[in-house]
Amino acid sequence: MLPETRSKDLSRSDLINEFAIKMVSVINAQDLAWFVAREIVGSLGYEDCVIYYLDKSGDCLYQVAAIGIKNPEDDQILNPLTIEVGVGVTGQVALSKQSALISDLRMHCNYVPDLEPGLSELCVPIMFGDRLYGVLDSESKIIDGYDDEDRKIFETISRLIASKLALIEQTEIVNKYTVELEKKVEERTLELKIANEQLAYLASTDPLTGLVNRRRLDELLEIEFERTSRFGAELSLILFDIDHFKVVNDTRGHQVGDEVIAGVGKIAKLLSRKSDTHGRWGGEEFLIIAPQTDDVGALSFAEKLRVAIENGEFSGDVKVSASFGVASFRGDQAVKDMLKRADEALYRAKRLGRNRVEIDVVG
């Protein structure tokens, strides 16, 4: 029975409101059980409180928290019980989903005595809708230890517990799916990043040589030209073309021709510096963008490339040569002018016999 001093200070609704406010901060089912047990014994003044939760199978009740005549500790259960649904007062309440107020346990055939048997008992189901979460139980060492007012208080508390358990359960489900969703989003984001990188690579790479393609060369050339113009640095272009490439295609076939183009591209890549950009300009033509390189340095570099290509063997036994045109940055001209000068130097190399390097003539 609710202690008179406590009931005089607060009405039943006040007690429940106070209880509910305190319960807000509890965030898991285990802590909730101990909170309720402590409040019922410590704040409401009852002798005893035991909280049982229904196990996953739905066949047994297990003690989660117990404070009072059977368990003096307030943070652990000394003698935890497991009760089958339908057995004893607690099990019958779980089975019937109806409260039980027993004034004299000595006269009750279903009572299962514990280490400290009581003389009266109040037991109510913890229900949310039709869902049984467990049982809220209290025993007293006196006969008629509980009345109908106590039953109403316990039933109200049990509804609060059930509502909180349902909220905790839903929160855990949401958190679980949130974690799974975040993981999936992370995975998809990574996949998208990789896919975008692959697309960017494919969009800027020549598939035959693995060098950058014409579109990307145009972009990088504009960037390097702007940087050179701003800081007054050096910049050179090396444009070269495989000599008599049509003959290779006509006599050895397009597959061998492709292998020759790929081989020449490999040489250009191997001999270039990390700061250089080497790419396929189109057909059998290649372009190297050489920042921080003046005409003398570019001429020397082009000659090394020419010799390496001339001495190389492609597709087993195919020998080719290449002609080169070199142009360097002039502050009073645009990118297209620089490319034009490199192209003119290349065609001059072809007119003069091929397999040679020519530099643009300052006019």
**Residue 66 neighbours by CB under 8 Å, 6+ apart:** 37, 49, 50, 51, 77, 80
Is 222 among the catalytic positions?
no
Query: Which residue of the set 121, 224, 259, 284 is catalytic?
Result: 284
Buried b (16+ CB within 10 A) or exposed e, 175-184: eeeeeeeeee
**Residue 143 neighbours by CB under 8 Å, 6+ apart:** 103, 104, 119, 120
Q: Sign of torsion, CA 78 79 85 90? A: negative
Measured CA to CA, the distance from residue 44 to residue 157 in angstroms comes to: 11
Q: What are the two backbone dihedrals, phi and then psi, of residue 241, each rounded to the nearest 5 degrees?
A: -140, 135
DSSP class of residue 212?
A: B
Measured CA to CA, the distance from residue 108 to residue 269 in angstroms comes to: 94
Residue among 14, 102, 16, 2 nearest 46 (CA): 2
Measured CA to CA, the distance from residue 232 to residue 158 in angstroms comes to: 82
| Alpha-carbon separation of residue 42 from 34, 101, 111, 147, 160 (angstroms) | 11, 21, 26, 19, 18
Q: Mind telling me the catalytic residues? A: 284
